[in-house]
Amino acid sequence: MFGKNQNKKSRYGSVAIKPTAADHGFNLLVTTFLTLLLIIIAVPLWSTITLSFRPNDYIGNNLQGMFLVPWKWSTSAYKALLGNAGFILAFWNSIKILIGGVATALLLTIPLAYVLSIPTLPGRRYLNLLIIVPYVFNVGIIPTYLLVTKIGLIDKLPAIYLPVAISTYNCLIMRSFFEGIPNELKESARIDGATEIQVLIRIILPLSKAIIMTIGLFYGVAYWNNFFHAMLYLNSNELQPLPILLRNILMASGMNEYVEVNAFGDAPIAAIKAASVFMSAIPMVLAYPFIQKYFTKGTLLGSVKG
């Protein structure tokens, strides 16, 4: 997110002044802080990764395991997971929820955000009020649970994303992005006889790649990570998404541990647990670098105006 002007030389223009001892101390502190932070963030991630590659005949504790050389790593835990029908099914369920959820959410959020961004729309104030009231006044989970039960969504994958298909917060971020698009562009299209749907598709959407990627990412992360709604609304084993399977694997202990985890094959139990953590995180970790440049841009547009 740092452009060229992050370069110190350009920030201070042509002013060239010799750094003092205080400046050196400051720089040293900044570097130390960032390095320490890097270690603090990296160590837990690294320990989980090394744990997942631990071979069956490994002797030693987890601390030493972090320094195990890569050529002694074993992929037995991953082989066990990928060879397990239950794991593949859960992964597939999660993919279905992710794709169905993001598509539904964007299809609902984009038109609403666009309509709310039209300043001349009669009744705009009431529309705003209509979406803000439930956002501000949250009655908790039970009333929604009763609704989902009543309309027959129980044990259907859309139960995970349909009740939360529009996040008012995301919609408001998108609205303020649309509001920032110059009005002349929309007006000239309207004068040429374009309908609102055409204006949205031909003018607004091509200019809104950053915000759509960002909001899509926010929805995607929320649906991929959701375990609570899956726990409430999906009872059947065939529908369990990845987070529920992961939770069962992680929480298994004692006898249960052997039933739940050993079913996966002959890799060490701790390695299977760590590998399933890593596998659950992988889609987000892979998508992340591609979307990073969009989300920093998109979030900023939504959060700080001026």
* Contact set for another protein, span 228-287 (CB under 8 A): 228, 232, 243, 246-247, 250, 270, 273-274, 276-277, 280-281, 284-285
What number of helices (H) and strands (E) belong to the chain?
Answer: 16, 0
- To another protein, the closest distance from the beta carbon of 265 in angstroms equals 19
Give least dist CB 58 to another protein, A: 11
Closest distance to another protein from the beta carbon of 180 (Å): 12
Q: Is 119 in the site for another protein (CB under 8 A)?
A: no
Q: Which of these ranges, 55-63, 74-82, 205-213, 259-267, lies near another protein under the rule CB under 8 A?
A: 55-63
What is the residue type of 226? Answer: N
In this chain, which of 4, 44, 69, 119 binds another protein, going by CB under 8 A? 44
Among residues 290, 229, 282, the alpha carbon closest in space to that of 95 is found at 282
* Amino acid identity at 123: G
> Binding residues for another protein, how many (CB under 8 A)?
110
Instruction: Using CB under 8 A, pick the residue from 68, 164, 203, 207 that binds another protein.
Output: 164
Residue 201 touching another protein (CB under 8 A):
no
Give the CA dihedral 301, 127, 114, 109, nearest 10 degrees: 80
Per DSSP, the residues of 80-134 read HHHT-HHHHHHHHHHHHHHHHHHHHHHHHHHHHHHHHT-TT-TTHHHHHHHHHHH
**What is the rounded CA–CA span in Å between residue 81 and residue 68?**
22
What distances in angstroms separate CA 140 from CA 29, 143, 158, 182, one per listed residue? 45, 7, 20, 39
- Tell me: does residue 38 bind another protein (CB under 8 A): yes
CA distance to 6, 23, 51, 71, 111, per residue, from 64 (Å): 40, 39, 10, 15, 54
Using the contact rule CB under 8 A, the part of the chain among 36-44, 72-80, 181-189, 205-213 near another protein is 36-44
Interface region with another protein, contact rule CB under 8 A, candidates 25-33, 79-87, 202-210, 258-266: 25-33
Give the count of beta carbons closer than 10 Å to the beta carbon of residue 197. Answer: 10
The one among 79, 227, 257, 265 contacting another protein by CB under 8 A? 227
Residue type for 11, please?
R
Nearest Cα residue to 95 out of 23, 161, 171: 161
Looking at 59, 69, 85, 139, which residue binds another protein (CB under 8 A)?
139
The residue among 3 and 206 lying less far from another protein, judged by its C-beta, is: 3
Please state the closest distance from residue 172 (CB atom) to another protein, in A.
5
In whole angstroms, the minimum distance from the beta carbon of 250 to another protein comes to 5
